[in-house]
Structure 1
């Protein structure tokens, strides 16, 4: 039997569907074209049992469905497919921001977890912040770190050879023993981040660019998320803002390594990893790359790591044209496409057809009804 359980894009939280099949070979979240985003091991289900899976704002994936392997036989549909758009959406990297996109229930649960867990509150995390001639915006990034609810951190400001007043600005902050200013010759963003990584010692690592800021709960929620879900890596959504007022876009989606290989939808400013579970060899940036270094790093570090997406926008990311980024003038046009193809080929060769999927979905439970 082929069973398709349609999910209305307006649903969130838990969605319960009664199953009538005796044996289901495998199941996964995928689009209607048959390209599976997630695929799991065999599950045996008896009639009347309840399949429970997490759908944190299903519209993040466009119009998605729970698809079971197509075989000859009847098709049973649950839900209300008539209420969905007639066209099934493909994977979306960006979408318009809505406050309802945030998983409020998860956020409240993590806030409570943080307050109740002395171990999480005492966890040290290192923050790697590369910068190059960005003194005009650097202050806001540093201040967003200082305003964190979680105060057990070390900030490494990796100055990639700035010629402006970055050094003078940082001299005002290094009075705080948690803030470390690392001046170095101009070698690019990868070398700057690697310098910070080599100096850092904490068990957890986060990244912040000089033109972006964090919400005050970013570190407390992300550390709680990794601890509560027993994760190696975790990431949240970013709220992208442009040069025009009201221009806000959501970047973020549930994790699928192979989907990320196709198009990067994980911003490094949203990403935290546990050093012990990832290893030093993978936790470094390719200094031969001038652009797409974040994408290459995330693909390498998440390929075999337990990773999940926190469906909350906790990062404010500037995506306008008024500032030049360290990598903004590198690999434009056809050259950029060639580099992206080379990165895909490298990681595809290492991973083959294997996928690593969001730990929250992979651990969806099957309960007796």
Structure 2
């Protein structure tokens, strides 16, 4: 196993590992068996206490560069270490329990070569794992860079273990992960990158993303939600809006189409959307036409969701809802 290879690879793959023996071989081999072969594979063992180290060391492939440690420091510091150690033109992320599809690197490399304005390239993925009660299903997101930037105002639009990064662009701006924000370091990273660079998703499934109860994001779900609320609030403030708790709730409902069957839901949603549009017209933070189209589409989806929920109300609940709507309408006359 080489620690100081002299070749300059096209891609550097970064994979932190902590007690991943159950799925590690599958993850490693999915990288080694890529159709695109010009890469170095940086594997960081984060003080694993299982057989992870033995599994990694069992591979005799010169592309693997192993960094062992007896101390568990967390995966985000290792990601930053990987960004500093990487010598590739592009940097690919990989988690130790996921499976990269055979043509993942080839597709992302070709996309980034053709689209020099893109700094981050993600992709779609298929959920897999024992936690799934039904057959696997796919995760899809926005692909257009402008819509991804808008999407970040509501939620994370890039799946971290699918990304390939343009190393030169990160180096220019000294961009690294904020280690204090784990397990939401990726969402923050994309927001900061989007302030000056463009992100995209290729419309192909390139990874099998494993769901399991031991994932860091599952164990730190409360912290993740708190971080997310802070990220959204910061972006809204940059837009010129200091949101109230109600507005933040409406913002969340709007994106996830979580319509509440109350008489004033749509009017409140409409008011919030108008506030967002007006703020963007002043701040010019997002492409105006695409921003308005995005919000209008969310509003339409909420109307459909509300209609479906009203249909599910009992006769009594429906009657109460209609009376409240009528009283509200009469008060506005």
TM-score per shorter chain, which class?
0.5 to 0.7
Structure 2 CA distance for aligned equivalents of residues 209 and 300 of structure 1: 22
State the secondary structure of the residue aligned to 2:106: helix
Provide the secondary structure at the position in 2 that maps to 1:291: coil
- Once the two structures are superposed, the pairs formed by residues 152-167 of structure 1 within 5 Å of their partners are 152-167=38-53
Q: Name 2:63's counterpart in structure 1.
A: 178
Q: Which structure 2 residues correspond to residues 1-369 of structure 1 after superposition, within 5 A?
A: 124-173=10-59, 175-184=60-69, 185-230=71-116, 231-243=118-130, 244-254=133-143, 255=145, 256-279=148-171, 281-321=173-213, 324-330=214-220, 332-333=221-222, 335-348=223-236, 353=283, 354-355=285-286
Where in structure 1 are there 5+ consecutive unaligned residues?
A: 1-121, 358-369
Cα shift readout 1:23-54 (whole Å, capped 9, x = no counterpart): xxxxxxxxxxxxxxxxxxxxxxxxxxxxxxxx
Provide the rounded CA distance (Å) in 2 between the counterparts of 1:356 and 1:232: 19
| Structure 1 pair 247–217 and aligned structure 2 pair: CA distance change class (3 A) | closer
Q: Go from structure 1 to structure 2 and tell me whether the alpha carbon gap of 1:145 and 1:305 turns closer, same or farther (over 3 Å shift).
A: same
The alignment yields a C-alpha RMSD, in angstroms, of 2.5
Inter-partner Cα distance in structure 1 for 2:53 and 2:47: 10
How far apart in 2 are the matches of 1:228 and 1:351? 32
What SS does structure 2 have at the residue aligned with 1:150?
coil
Q: Given the two structures, how large is their TM-score scaled by the length of structure 2?
A: 0.64
Does the 8 Å contact 1:129/1:156 carry over to 2?
A: yes
Map Cα deviations across residues 308-335 of structure 1 (whole Å, 9 max, x no partner). 22111111111243xx1244322x33x4
Q: Which has the higher helix share?
A: 2
- Residues 158, 201 of structure 2: 8 Å contact kept: no
In structure 2, the partner of 1:67 is none
| In 2: Cα distance, 1:246 partner to 1:172 partner | 33
1:28 aligned partner: none
- Name the structure with the higher strand share: 1
Q: Conserved in 1, the CA contact under 8 Å of 2:217 and 2:224? A: no
CA spacing shift, 1:281–1:131, aligned 2, 3 Å: farther
Distance (Å, rounded) in 2 between the aligned partners of 1:153 and 1:123: 5
For the 8 Å contact 1:285–1:297, the answer to whether it is kept is yes
Higher relative contact order (CA 8 A, sep 6+): 1
Identify unmatched segments of 5+ residues in structure 2.
1-7, 241-282, 289-333
Is the partner of 1:273 in helix, strand or coil?
strand
Instruction: Answer with 1 or 2: which has the greater Rg.
Output: 2
User: Distance in 2 between the 1:287 and 1:177 partners?
Assistant: 30
Shift of 1:151: 0.3
Question: Normalising to structure 1: TM-score of the pair?
Answer: 0.58
2:179 alignment partner, SS class: coil
Checking the alignment, whether the CA contact within 8 Å between 1:189 and 1:326 is kept in structure 2 is no
Alpha-carbon separation, structure 1, partners of 2:83 and 2:287: 25
Give, in whole Å, the separation in 2 of the partners of 1:268 and 1:236.
Answer: 9
- Structure 2 match to 1:361: none
Deviation at 1:187, TM superposition (A): 1.6
In 2, are the aligned partners of 1:300 and 1:347 still within 8 Å (CA)?
Answer: no
